[in-house]
Structure 1
Amino acid sequence: MRQFPLEMHHMAPGRVVEWRLRSTAGAQSPGPDGADGTADRRASFNQDKHFTVAEESRAADDPTASWIAVTFEVAGPLDEDALTGSLLAFVRRHEVLRCEFRRLAGELACAPIPAAELALDTVPVADFDRTEELTRFLVERFKRSIDTLSWPLFTMGAVLREDSATVYLAFDHIVCDGMSMPIVVQEVERGYEALRRGELPDPAPAPSYLDFAEEQRSRYLSIDEHDERLGYWKEFMASGDGEFFPRFPLELGVEPGRMYSIVNEASPLLDAAEAEVFEKACLAVDGKPFMGVLAAVAVCLREAGGPGVYRGFMPVSERGRAGWGNSVGWFVNTMPIEFDASPGRDFEQVMASVRAGFGEMIGHLDVPFVRAWELLAPREFAARSWPYPVNFFSYIDMRKCPGAERHEDWRPTSHVWSAQANGACSWFQRDAEGLHMNSIYSDTPAARRTMDGFLEALRETVREIARHGSFRRPIALTPPRRPALTPLDVAAFARRG
């Protein structure tokens, strides 16, 4: 399973149907205690900030939009009744997907619709004869249908053919994160298979993200800027001239206060065999593969003109801290990390610095990012976006996600999109096919040049580590522009190897 732009998905055409979610309670609005008499729940810090930005953007007639989507394959003629039942069971199982968000006395409240009151309607959409037309439709469909301020907060559909189907689900970030996508695939696929066998999907509700949010707010809503738990953040800011956000150190050609349309690109860095050797090189110096990628990123940024000390943001999943391993939600805390990648340090030394920096970061994971942002950088918190290009690194080993043992059959892919950006974000994924990179960045000439050079330098650096276990050769700072990327045939890459 890998992440890349939906526009790169070479999806075979067919007949598109969608499943529209509705409440059987009709137009009756939930009362102050919720639709079923239960109390409204409080949104998480991530959700509250995300919703606030959407409200303010709508008011300013400058909508900020984004979505996270997943696609996967079903072999053979589709049993529409079985897929309908599986999708409905999936939505009923995860409370956050049944929520309507609204302002109550200034706070963002979640009003869960009772699972038994939900129904799905199957709606024929259109027939497509060409892949390009289908892809354009899906891209526009996700943009139009995902609205942070309107329920439901996701869309579901499938492309049907005589001998196969591609299922798709697209979500607003307010109800899920990237690690939710493998959970979506596993639950819907296994539920479908169960119903095809005449069995029922798991009826038990998943541990709720709303409980996670409630616990988080109870613990951290009352803290102030003097709380000792903010010490790690304050030290990070002190080492960066008092700035809360670590700057992306290379030139992107963006103007302060301005947002830009995006470039969304993806490219392989290592094939499966190279990724295995790369992992061994990392283990040989007492590190992990994600640490090796982060070390390579730091060295490439430094060689391209960045500082010797790497400073960046890193999303960290909080699912493992309790029983939310198979729950859908936004279980991400964004944390700062800092380590030494100065000139003259070899691979083992940089890896030791990464390991120490990561260990220090994990030891201070408790304070939610949005709460730290609000307390320590209130002026920036009031804005609708991060103030300038921010250094951001994300890594997921998809082989360790729920259902990974069936990914060759299901051929899942994930996709992210944002309407605008004022910087660059990169996500790295390891799967059975190797190591891959997906980047979203501002569409400026300078950013295209910078990201082209960064990609080529990074690819060469991780290959050097795989070949020699070190940064052996000088990194090219002015590489030739890479060739145009071609659409990915998902069925083909799943069959390779």
Structure 2
Amino acid sequence: MEFTELADYRIPPGVLTEWLPCAAEDDWREDPRPASYIHEAHLRRTSGVRYGGGRDSWLGTAFEVPGPLDTERFRRALQRWIDRHEPLRSHAHLDEEQSGGGLVRRTAPPGRVSVRPIRHDPADPDTIHEHLLGLFDDYTTPHLWPSYVFATLERTPDGDPDSAESAKDTDERFTVFFGADHSIIDGYSVVLVAHEISALYEEERTGRAADLFPVGSYIDFGAAERDESAHLDDDDEAVQIWRRTLTECGGEPPAFPLPIGARPAHATPQQRLSERWFDDDEASAFSACCRRAGTGFFAGVLACFGRATAELTGADRFRTVAPAHTRAGPIWAGSLGWFVGLRPIDLKLTDTTDFDTLAMRAGDELHRTRASARVPFARVGELLGVPIRPRFVVSYMDVRFVPMAAQWPEWNAQALRSRSFTHDVYVWINRTPEGVNMSARFPDNTVADKNVPSLLTRTRELMHEVAVGGPWIARPETAAVPPTGE
């Protein structure tokens, strides 16, 4: 499944239907459970901001379902899915009337959220795309409920659902779109959506059991996380790891190792890039090389990033921030939520030009910093008195074993992310049944447009050299550009 923006998803002409969650005022109950650390930090960071209001942090998915859309059965499937995942029936917001902006939560019991369809006239792809962007921007704010929205698109060759040509379409199918604010969903949650909604819809249509396994509530997870993190102090290993990183990086998390241009005076949408780096056979070959080096796939990826950095900048260290999931236990495996911790990576690049050595070092570094990923980084920031806001992130996910992952190409399933307006660099490396996809976002200026793809291209070349079994083709290490994030 490719992770990219809505603009890169193929949208045919057709009829768009919005599916809007709604609940009566009397259906809500006061809920004393707190938000997770990352959720509350997100609410405070986006409160009152001029651009986005949190709307530049939504995630989502698009996928196709075979057959004509049965609106009543699809509506019931969505309502059952909302019942399944409590964060979709709960809302936490900052109460401005309380001192310090205290957090208030309300939750609706299962069965109290309904879904109302709004069907639009036939439209062309550009009109549908703009409508979807507006729909997601309107609904995916963490400060209002619902902070998510669904849409379906019934495609028609000429945009007219009643035309004779449409009736002859033998490959009838419709597309499902889903977008949600990051506070209730993460990258792994996104890849579960297509299977779960499709399975529930199929059960409504045919009676065939969806067989979805039980899941826990992210709200319970967040409450337990707060209890466990309340006892952290300055001597905790995670705090020490982050303190050292911030001290060595000038008080902020690591920056991209090449210049990315000046921060713009006004909010500007970021540039995006999405590429297939490996097919499945090439990914397996690279994985085998990592195992022979005594480490894992992500460590091998970091080794290649590090070697590319050394060649392009002459730097003696490669630094980044790597997300790690916090789904500790099977009850959280299929839950919707923001189960993400962060670990700073500091990879020494000197005294070797060998993949095996760098990969082993990267594996050791992932092991060394694992404690920092288990603790909410917002809590660590509280203890250090400095908000931890990543500037350069390299994320890795292996989603080959997600239920029905093999069907993603057939379903035209794609993970979506919102436009971003920040001055940072994010890179996502995802291993799927089809191979390895890379997607990235970075500032839209001539400096970043040259330097970010340059590092990514060289990293990809180094990974391919490893995969084919040969040594890295040595290139002179030169400081052609200063190793700085600006």
For the residues of structure 2 that align with 1:122 and 1:188, how far apart are their CA atoms? 16
* Offset at residue 332 of structure 1 (A): 0.5
Further displaced range: 259-268 or 94-103 = 259-268
Which one of 71, 84, 87 corresponds to residue 75 of structure 2? 84
Which one of 147, 162, 167 corresponds to residue 141 of structure 2? 147
Aligned to 1:464: 465
Asked if structure 2 preserves the Cα contact closer than 8 Å seen for 1:7 and 1:139, the reply is no
Aligned to 2:49: 57
Matching of residue 292 in structure 1 with residue 300 in structure 2: yes
* Offset at residue 247 of structure 1 (A): 1.9
Asked if structure 2 preserves the Cα contact closer than 8 Å seen for 1:429 and 1:436, the reply is yes
What TM-score, normalized to structure 2?
A: 0.87
Matching of residue 3 in structure 1 with residue 3 in structure 2: yes
Given the superposition, is the C-alpha separation of residues 2 and 398 from structure 1 closer, same or farther in structure 2, using an over 3 Å criterion? Answer: farther
Matching of residue 197 in structure 1 with residue 206 in structure 2: yes
Aligned to 1:446: 447
RMSD over aligned Cα, in angstroms? 2.7
SS at match of 2:369: helix
What TM-score, normalized to structure 1?
A: 0.85
Q: How does 1:418-497 map to 2 (within 5 A)?
A: 418-474=419-475
Given the superposition, is the C-alpha separation of residues 476 and 399 from structure 1 closer, same or farther in structure 2, using an over 3 Å criterion? Answer: farther
For the residues of structure 1 that align with 2:84 and 2:146, how far apart are their CA atoms? 15
Aligned to 2:160: none
Which one of 103, 119, 123 corresponds to residue 124 of structure 1? 119
Matching of residue 247 in structure 1 with residue 255 in structure 2: yes
For the residues of structure 1 that align with 2:6 and 2:476, how far apart are their CA atoms? 31
Further displaced range: 288-297 or 440-449 = 288-297
Which one of 130, 144, 153 corresponds to residue 136 of structure 1? 130
* Offset at residue 281 of structure 1 (A): 1.8
Given the superposition, is the C-alpha separation of residues 257 and 336 from structure 1 closer, same or farther in structure 2, using an over 3 Å criterion? Answer: farther
Look up the equivalent residue of 1:4 and give its one-letter code: T
Look up the equivalent residue of 1:107 and give its one-letter code: G
For the residues of structure 2 that align with 1:160 and 1:432, how far apart are their CA atoms? 28
Matching of residue 70 in structure 1 with residue 65 in structure 2: no
* Offset at residue 478 of structure 1 (A): 12
Matching of residue 329 in structure 1 with residue 337 in structure 2: yes
For the residues of structure 2 that align with 1:203 and 1:117, how far apart are their CA atoms? 21
Aligned to 1:492: none
For the residues of structure 1 that align with 2:470 and 2:88, how far apart are their CA atoms? 45
Look up the equivalent residue of 2:297 and give its one-letter code: P
Aligned to 2:14: 14
What are the superposed Cα offsets for residues 16-71 of structure 1, whole Å, 9 maximum, x if unpaired? 11211110xx344x8xxxx34x633200111001111121315xx77453211101
Look up the equivalent residue of 2:206 and give its one-letter code: R
SS at match of 2:467: helix
SS at match of 1:319: coil
SS at match of 1:190: helix
Aligned to 2:241: 232
Aligned to 2:484: none
Look up the equivalent residue of 1:65 and give its one-letter code: R
SS at match of 2:462: helix
For the residues of structure 2 that align with 1:77 and 1:478, how far apart are their CA atoms? 58
Aligned to 1:217: 226
Aligned to 2:284: 276
Asked if structure 1 preserves the Cα contact closer than 8 Å seen for 2:310 and 2:477, the reply is no
For the residues of structure 2 that align with 1:242 and 1:310, how far apart are their CA atoms? 15
Which one of 100, 103, 106 corresponds to residue 94 of structure 2? 103
Aligned to 2:411: 410
Given the superposition, is the C-alpha separation of residues 4 and 373 from structure 1 closer, same or farther in structure 2, using an over 3 Å criterion? Answer: same
Matching of residue 262 in structure 1 with residue 270 in structure 2: yes
SS at match of 2:215: coil
Asked if structure 2 preserves the Cα contact closer than 8 Å seen for 1:68 and 1:417, the reply is yes
Q: How does 1:140-179 map to 2 (within 5 A)?
A: 140-161=134-155, 163-179=172-188
SS at match of 1:303: helix
* Offset at residue 400 of structure 1 (A): 2.2
Aligned to 1:312: 320
SS at match of 1:474: coil
Aligned to 1:490: none
SS at match of 1:121: strand
Look up the equivalent residue of 1:101 and give its one-letter code: A
For the residues of structure 2 that align with 1:326 and 1:62, how far apart are their CA atoms? 29
Unpaired runs of 5+ residues, structure 2, are 156-168, 481-486
SS at match of 1:345: coil
For the residues of structure 2 that align with 1:343 and 1:312, how far apart are their CA atoms? 20
What are the superposed Cα offsets for residues 421-457 of structure 1, whole Å, 9 maximum, x if unpaired? 1111111112232211111111111111112312321
SS at match of 1:454: helix
Look up the equivalent residue of 1:137 and give its one-letter code: H
* Offset at residue 377 of structure 1 (A): 4.0
In the alignment of these two chains, the number of paired residues is: 460
For the residues of structure 2 that align with 1:228 and 1:462, how far apart are their CA atoms? 33
Asked if structure 1 preserves the Cα contact closer than 8 Å seen for 2:54 and 2:181, the reply is no
Asked if structure 1 preserves the Cα contact closer than 8 Å seen for 2:43 and 2:93, the reply is no
Identity of aligned residues (%): 26
Asked if structure 1 preserves the Cα contact closer than 8 Å seen for 2:324 and 2:342, the reply is yes
